[in-house]
Each structure stands twice: as C-alpha cells, then as structure tokens.
Chains A and B, each alone.
Chain A
C-alpha cells in the first residue's frame, strides 16, 4: 500500500532556513500536502502542491517536488520560534479521497 516517510526531528536556530523532507511510494499521487500541528491543536493545512508542479512558493514557505524520486520538501525561510511544531507530509492518490500521512517531523527552533 501507499507509504509516506519523514525524518522525526529537526532543530534549527531562529532566523535560519528549515528544510523538512518527505518521501512517498504512491506513483499515482496527485496532491501532496504539508500540515502543521502545534501542541494541543489540530492539523493546520499549510500548503499543497499538485503533482504536475515542481515548486510552489507561498510567503516564507517553498515546496519542492521531485516526482521522479518521489521526494517532497518544505523549506521555511527565516524560521521563527512560532514555527516550532510537528510538520506532517501527506499525499492523496488518484481517485482516492483519503490522505496518507507521514509520521511527522518535529521542528524545534532555538532562539
């Protein structure tokens, strides 16, 4: 079945860029997402990319998609302490309604 993998932890200093990586196995993935989860809160949709795109930029967020390698990344520019959270990668395949999630990457931003 489909699988999505992420590294578990990333620590950066405030002001640096953060890059969170994700790999997936479903070659029919049509939409790929990044969600953010702060402590005690739900999953907040940050951004998404269609599989026919290579890159999407949205303010401080840049999503890169390498469809050949099935690799997705989220770059956060000028990382702030408020960006500390768990970031989930998710994909949705053709004809499916469900999202398949990765385990989440905990981003820790040090002042």
Chain B
C-alpha cells in the first residue's frame, strides 16, 4: 500500500541553524501539507501546497519557513534559523484530487533544537 515517507526520523540541531525536513508524498497525489505537534499539544496546520505554490498557510508559517517541491517526488520544509520553540514533531501529508477528503500522513520527523 502506498504511503507517505519522511526523513530523517529525528533531527537534532543547534539554535540558529537551518534545517530541511524531507517528505515523499504518495506518488499520484497533488496536494501536500505540513503540520507540526509540539510535545503535549495539538497537531497544528502549517501550510498546504498545490500546483507548485502555497495555497494556504497558518500564522505559524512565518518568513522563517519555506516549502519546495524540488523534483517530481520530494516535498521539503525549510526552517531558516531554528528557535528552541521550533522543537516539535513535523508531519507531512498528501491527498489526491479524486479522494479529496482523505489526507494521508507520514510518520513524522522529530526536530529537537538545542
């Protein structure tokens, strides 16, 4: 069964460093998302991406964040200058056009900023 994959599973970085989190959505999907979950808190929406552009973003997704689909398979989230409060589990999700109500999530990348 096709699934969303994410790498790495755990990333440790120092405050102020740039990180890139990688996702490979399900191959025929057209809509892509990033969510995050700070430990003990709710899963929060960050951004959605369709047709090579951001279609919706939350207040959390400020200028420190960017997304890219560099090739036909990867979808990345970049944090330019990480802060301690960026420590969280980051989930990528995707959905196709036909089953537009079903978002499928990856296993997540745990980001720890020290």
Binding site for B on A (CB under 8 A): 4, 31, 33, 35, 40-45, 48, 50, 88, 90, 92, 96-104
A-B contact pairs, 6 of them (CB 8 A): A42-B4, A90-B43, A99-B35, A99-B103, A100-B45, A104-B43
User: Do A103 and B42 have beta carbons less than 8 Å apart?
Assistant: yes
Binding site for A on B (CB under 8 A): 4, 6, 31, 33, 35, 41-45, 48, 50, 55-56, 58, 91, 93, 101-108
Does more than half of chain A's interface fall in helix, strand or loop, or is it mixed?
strand
A-B contact count (CB 8 A): 54
Q: Which of A40, A48, A50 contacts B102 (CB under 8 A)?
A: A48
- Residues in A whose Cβ lies below 8 Å from that of B6: 42
User: Do B105 and A42 have beta carbons less than 8 Å apart?
Assistant: yes
Does more than half of chain B's interface fall in helix, strand or loop, or is it mixed?
strand
- Residues in B whose Cβ lies below 8 Å from that of A103: 41-42
Q: Closest CB of chain A to B102's CB: distance in Å? A: 6
Tell whether A45 pairs with B48 under 8 Å between CB atoms, given A97-B56, A101-B42: no
User: Do A102 and B33 have beta carbons less than 8 Å apart?
Assistant: no
- Residues in B whose Cβ lies below 8 Å from that of A104: 42-43
Chain A residue, CB-CB nearest to B47? A98
Alpha-carbon separation in the docked complex, A35 to B102 (Å): 11
Q: Closest CB of chain B to A26's CB: distance in Å? A: 13
- Residues in A whose Cβ lies below 8 Å from that of B4: 42
User: Do A101 and B43 have beta carbons less than 8 Å apart?
Assistant: yes
Alpha-carbon separation in the docked complex, A83 to B71 (Å): 38
Alpha-carbon separation in the docked complex, A96 to B57 (Å): 10
User: Do B105 and A35 have beta carbons less than 8 Å apart?
Assistant: yes
User: Do A41 and B107 have beta carbons less than 8 Å apart?
Assistant: yes
